[in-house]
A and B are shown apart, each in its own frame.
Chain A
Amino acid sequence: MRRSMLFLPGNNPNMLINADVFGADAVIFDLEDAVSPDEKDAARILVRNALKYMDYGNTEIVVRINSIDENGFWSKDLDEIIPLKPSMIMPTKVTNAEYVKKLSDYMTAIEQKSGIPEGTVKLIPLIETAMGVENAYEIAVADERVVAIFLGGEDLTADLCCVRTKEGDEIFYARCRMVNAARAAGKDVYDTPFTDVNDDEGLIVDAKKAKSLGFTGKASIAPRHVKGINEVFSPTQEEVDYAYEVLEAIETAKKQGKGAISLRGKMIDAPIVLRANQVIAAYESIKGGSAR
């Protein structure tokens, strides 16, 4: 389970070495905005070498590549990175299904050439335009490689002609639409980073808001925010205890041959069981990883 995804600049050796020490469930090596145009070559070669020689343990690796519309950097990025089998590629400014198809086909060609099973490397499209938000569902179901979609609030507000605020009212619609699209497609969905790196309290408020809307997790551009995001997106001990109680009650009822089950004076119906299973799955997958 991914609660937190941490962006790290792709051309900074010191950050690449320490990528796995911040407790992020996934790190995103950034070849796009964090790298100036004349260092794109250096960054993709550095990230490729880091993936080849460094041991990142249980930390999932994502590489953010350049947009398909610009300079042909994107295909060079994929040429260098796909053979090293990162968990996911994050394409940027994704607007429609066609974009995803084009990438996926190109990735398939590289995978075949490199002797990697087709579809090994997954996609997490970054949706950060008004058109992209409108097409979120189509993007989420465009290809089997897509395992999640990710909302980028900064570029989106520029496209919407409004100002990005800490409260985030301006992206409320986009957040809801992204969650709905992803859940309809049966995929995960990740929230935009909170960009004031010095505001730890603001981060928690923002992360709680995202969790309440249904996001799976949240990205961060600051290592110090990872801890807060993990806390918000981890099930609380109370939730976990309750989930186990629910499953136990069902077991007991089954043994006793009872149909209807109640717990703490409330009927347990299918959605409650489903939610209990989700909570336990999340809890099991982060056990021992929370203090990393």
Chain B
Amino acid sequence: MKINEKAAAGTMESSDIYIEVAPGSGGIDIQIDSVVSDRFETSIRNTITEVLSEFGVKDAKIMVNDRGALDCTIRARMETALKRASNGGI
């Protein structure tokens, strides 16, 4: 999947996560801000990396603002953001 434009998914409400995806500059760049970063930063990064590789994304900039979302919510918001950013392109 190719990231064609900047897009976002999710909200800043408690238990949700806001994710912004933008075209990268030759690689994956993930920035994470989380209310539970001391406990889950690695886990959040792993989940995001997993979803990226599921969709074969190799070039993207990801900005994450996490409000304590569970893993399944992170997966869902990440997938939504990617699909929106690819704008129908594969």
Contacts and interface: CB of A to CB of B under 8 A. Distances in A.
- Categorize the interface residue count of chain B: 10 to 19
Contacts of B13: 12-14
Interface in A45-68: 45-46, 48-50, 52-54
Interface string B13-48: 111100000000000000000000000000000000
A64 B76 CA distance: 18
A52 to B, nearest CB: 7
Contact of B70 (A12, A13, A48): A13
B83 interface: yes
Given A13-B69, A41-B84, A42-B10, A48 B76 contact: yes
A17 interface: yes
Contacts of A45: 76, 79-80, 83
B80 A13 contact: no
A84 to B, nearest CB: 12
A164 B77 CA distance: 38
Contacts of A12: 13, 16
A143 to B, nearest CB: 31
Given A42-B80, A45-B79, A46-B77, A14 B72 contact: no
B72 A49 contact: yes
A292 to B, nearest CB: 21
Contact of A42 (B14, B71, B76): B76
B49 interface: no
Contacts of B9: 42
For chain A, give the interface size range. 10 to 19
B61 interface: no
Contacts of B10: 42
Given A42-B9, A42-B10, A13 B84 contact: no
Interface in A17-65: 17, 41-42, 45-46, 48-50, 52-54
A14 B76 CA distance: 14
A17 B13 CA distance: 14
Contact of A49 (B14, B15, B16, B76): B76
A204 to B, nearest CB: 32
B16 A13 contact: yes
A63 to B, nearest CB: 14
Nearest to B73: A13
B75 interface: yes
B80 A17 contact: no
A17 B15 contact: yes
A54 B72 CA distance: 8
Contacts of B16: 12-14
A49 B83 contact: no
A230 to B, nearest CB: 26
B56 to A, nearest CB: 18
Contacts of B15: 13-14, 17
Contacts of B72: 49-50, 52-54
A50 B76 CA distance: 9
B51 to A, nearest CB: 10
Contacts of A50: 72-73, 76
24 contacts: A12-B13, A12-B16, A13-B15, A13-B70, A13-B73, A14-B13, A16-B73, A17-B70, A41-B80, A41-B84, A42-B9, A42-B10, A45-B76, A46-B73, A46-B80, A48-B76, A49-B72, A49-B73, A49-B75, A49-B79, A50-B73, A50-B76, A53-B72, A53-B75
Interface of B: 9-10, 13-16, 69-73, 75-77, 79-80, 83-84
